[in-house]
Amino acid sequence: MPVLTIDDRRIEVEQGATILDAAARLGIRIPTLCHRQGLEPWASCMVCVVSVRGPDGNSRLVPSCASRAEEGMIVETDTEDVRRARRLAVELLLSDHLGDCIAPCQQACPARMDIPRMIRSIRSGDFTAAVETVREAIPLPGVLGRICSAPCEKACRRGRYDSPLSILLLKRFVADADLASASPYAPPAAPSLGRKVAVVGSGPAGLSAAYYLLKAGAAVAVFDGNDLPGGMLRYGVPEDRLPRDVLAAETDVIRRMGCDFRMRLRLGSDLSLDELRADYDAVFLALGETVPSAGIPDGLETDEHGIRVDRKTFQTGIDGVFAGGDCVRPIRMAVHSVAQGRTAAFSIVNYLAGGCPAGRHTPFSTHIGRLLEGEIDNFLLEGDPRERVLPAGGASAGLSRDEAVSESARCLHCDCRRQDDCRLRSLAEETGAKGRLYRYSLGEGVPERRVFRQDASHPDVIYEPGKCIACGICVRIAEKALERFGLAFVGRGFDVQVRGALDRSMRDALEKTAGECADACPTGAIVLRSPVPAPRHRDSSER
């Protein structure tokens, strides 16, 4: 039984155990992509490298999943060389990884709303899940479903074929159906923080900040000099574009969450910033568009646009005072103000917890980018070929239930359905890897990336070869289960691909193990067709 030392800790292991096994016994995590318990080591991804010091005092890097533990070994799992090698391994895998972590529509949305998830929920008839998804990123979906300029639709990949999805109308449908219900959705609040926040201004930025602060457990009072809340939404948008009952209903959701609206109180005449700072633990200024140096409280730095803030946290130069929306920089789209209010709320919550203000974390993402000729046809395998569904009652009436379900079926599902538990994505964040850092060329006229393809022949899973890193897990699972045909590596070198043996489709290749392969795949190359993924809880990771 060999005895070795890992990160200055001695351990005795069984003969034949690997360094990875020994580290696991000590509770030391070593990242892997191609390893799976119960399968023979593959050592293809090289993410699990560790440093082993030899008798001569020199160190070498070895894959821990395939290296046997030996007597007297001295292993280090977290040196600078190890971290650099792991980052390089991930970057090399990413250089040939073809897929969108998040769909182009979500990437284009200033609020980063998970549009594909909302659409899948509508398609399955789960409108409760749809409204939860929408309100996770947008607290005023009925409002924005009418006035947003829809940058998401401009980015929709379906538009390259016929017409983009009616994302705006789908969002409006979800909101209107919810507001018409007996109990419109309000998110559950976290345990009370025992802290108070003053929000000055009840426009889109102020209402958004209040919503997410309340959700996080803060007590919130909103101050505004007007008679009714809404700011520019109420006093700047014509009623034929934004019915006031919709605005009132969505404002009432925030009121029911516990917001204390204090109207007819104007900053500078009825109350001062110093008073608010004395009475509240933090202040968020959402004053609307102002003339620099006019209408802005004393002591705040300004620039040519308005109040000067940190662009990531929206904190001003005064401790505990944050600002967003038009008073920072004129904004032409309300969705930008809503997004700023949300980011500022996360910063304020971190500030109240005694930490440094920090806005929402932006996860690592890869993007396919511009499509090559013919690639849109492969995406269309997942979308209903019918043309865009228009409201039978006209644009002012919005989509009916059946129309919304039909329109949602046109979605191409460009996002990765494993984006929340993709090990390659997680390791990219962990190692600080850069996507597409390395490029390759196969000659003039040959694309500098793979061509997007997907095999949708299987009733339970979808296979995207462009996401495959040739880890061999699915091949070994199918082989171990004695699949009739199974999977095999086809080609050599850089162009090697996993395909059905004897050129069979996935339907034939994985008759018994499709679900197991999808569960084990570290990159989402094989995914379940499940129309609506499990509920996501991201707020804590975004703080």
Look up the CATH number of the domain holding residue 435: 3.30.70
**Whole-number pLDDT of residue 168:** 96
* 201: CATH: 3.50.50.60
Q: Domain range spanning residue 502?
A: 423-528
| Burial category of 60 from C-beta neighbours within 10 Å (exposed 0-12, middle 13-18, buried 19 and up) | exposed
- What b-and-e string marks burial along 19-57, b requiring 16 or more CB atoms within 10 Å of the CB? bbbbbeeeebebbbbbbbeebebbbbbbbbbbbbeeeee
CA 41 to CA 48: how far, in whole Å?
Answer: 11
| Degrees, nearest 5: CA angle 83-89-90 | 90
Q: Do 32 and 65 form a contact (C-beta atoms < 8 A)?
A: yes
For 262, half-sphere exposure in the C-beta direction (CA atoms, 13 angstrom radius) is: 14
d(CA 303, CA 359): 22
Neighbours of 147 (CB within 10 A): 18
- 418 within domain boundaries: no
Residue 346 domain-assigned (yes or no) = yes
Residue 295: per-residue pLDDT = 66
**Closest Cα partner for 233 from 143, 310, 309, 321?**
143
The answer to whether residues 207 and 347 belong to one domain is: yes
34 and 154 belong to one structural domain: no
For the chain, percent of residues with pLDDT exceeding 70: 94
pLDDT level of residue 332 (50, 70, 90 thresholds): confident
How far apart (Å, rounded) are the C-alpha atoms in residues 14 and 18?
9
147 lies in the same domain as 247: no
* Helices 167-179 + 127-137 axis angle, to 10: 110
For residue 352, pLDDT over 90 is answered with yes
Whole-number Å distance between alpha carbons of 449 and 101: 17
Number of domains, the chain: 4
- DSSP class of residue 246 equals H
- 347 and 448 co-located in one domain: no
Confidence at residue 441, expressed as pLDDT on a 0 to 100 scale: 59
Residue 119 DSSP class: H
Could you tell me if residue 97 is inside a domain? no
Exposed, middle or buried: residue 332 (CB in 10 Å: 0-12, 13-18, 19+)? exposed
Read off the pLDDT of residues 264-323 as tens digits, 9 standing for 90 and up: 999 988 999 999 999 999 999 999 876 555 567 888 998 888 899 999 999 999 999 999
Q: Is residue 340 part of a domain?
A: yes
Domain shared by 404 and 502, yes or no: no
Lowest mean pLDDT among 263-267, 323-327, 380-384, 485-489: 380-384
Nearest alpha-carbon partner for 533 in 380, 434, 415: 415
Q: Within 13 Å of residue 465, how many CA atoms lie on the same side as its CB? A: 20
Residues 372, 316, single domain; the answer is no
Same-domain check for residues 69 and 118: no
What's the rounded Cα separation, in Å, for the pair 522 and 35?
Answer: 10
Band the pLDDT of 535: cuts 50, 70, 90: very low
DSSP code of residue 374: T
Residue where one domain finishes, among candidates 26, 60, 78: 78
Q: Please say if the pLDDT value at position 143 is more than 90.
A: yes
CATH number of the domain residue 65 falls in: 3.10.20.740
pLDDT of residue 541: 32
Cα angle 341, 342, 348; round to 5: 85
Residue 13 has pLDDT above 90, yes or no: yes
Give the span between the Cα atoms of 412 and 454, in whole angstroms: 12
Ramachandran bin of 150, using left for φ above 0, alpha for ψ from -120 to 50, beta for the remaining angles:
left
pTM over 0.85: yes
Do 303 and 337 lie in one domain? The reply is yes
On whether residue 93 sits in a domain, the answer given is no
Share of the chain above pLDDT 90, in %: 80
**44 within some domain:** yes
What pLDDT score was predicted for residue 539?
42
Shared-domain flag, residues 154 and 291: no
Asked if the model's pLDDT at residue 457 lies above 70, the reply is yes
SS3 category, 329: coil
Task: Provide the token pair at 406.
Answer: 């039909």
Residue 64 pLDDT greater than 60, yes or no: yes
The average pLDDT across 513-540 equals 76
Query: What pLDDT was estimated at residue 297?
Result: 81
E strands along 167-287, which residues?
A: 196-200, 219-224, 260-263, 282-285
* Three-state secondary-structure class, residue 440: coil
Q: Are residues 236 and 328 in the same domain?
A: yes
Q: Contacts from 26-34 at CB under 8 Å and sequence distance 24+?
A: 28/77, 30/64, 30/77, 31/86, 31/423, 31/427, 31/430, 32/65, 33/93, 33/423, 33/424, 33/427, 33/469, 33/471, 33/522, 33/523, 34/65, 34/469, 34/471, 34/472, 34/473, 34/522
Q: Environment class of residue 291 by beta-carbon count within 10 Å: exposed (0-12), middle (13-18) or buried (19+)?
A: exposed
Are residues 459 and 522 both part of a single domain? yes
Phi-psi region for residue 50, left (φ > 0), alpha (ψ -120 to 50) or beta? beta
Q: Give me the DSSP letters along 135-147.
A: HHH-S-HHHHHHH
**SS3 letters across 269-326:** CCECHHHHHHHCCEEEECCCCCCCCCCCCCCCCECCCCECCCCCCCECCCCCEEECHH
**Tokens 């016994």, residue?**
25
Q: Is residue 7 part of a domain?
A: yes
Instruction: Give pLDDT, residue 534.
Output: 46
| Amino acid present at 90 | V
Region 98-116 average pLDDT? 95
Same domain, 202 and 237: yes
Q: At 156, which CATH number?
A: 1.10.1060.10
| Residue range 35-46: mean pLDDT, rounded | 92
pLDDT confidence of residue 537:
43
> Would you say residue 189 lies in a domain?
no
**Res 540: pLDDT:** 36
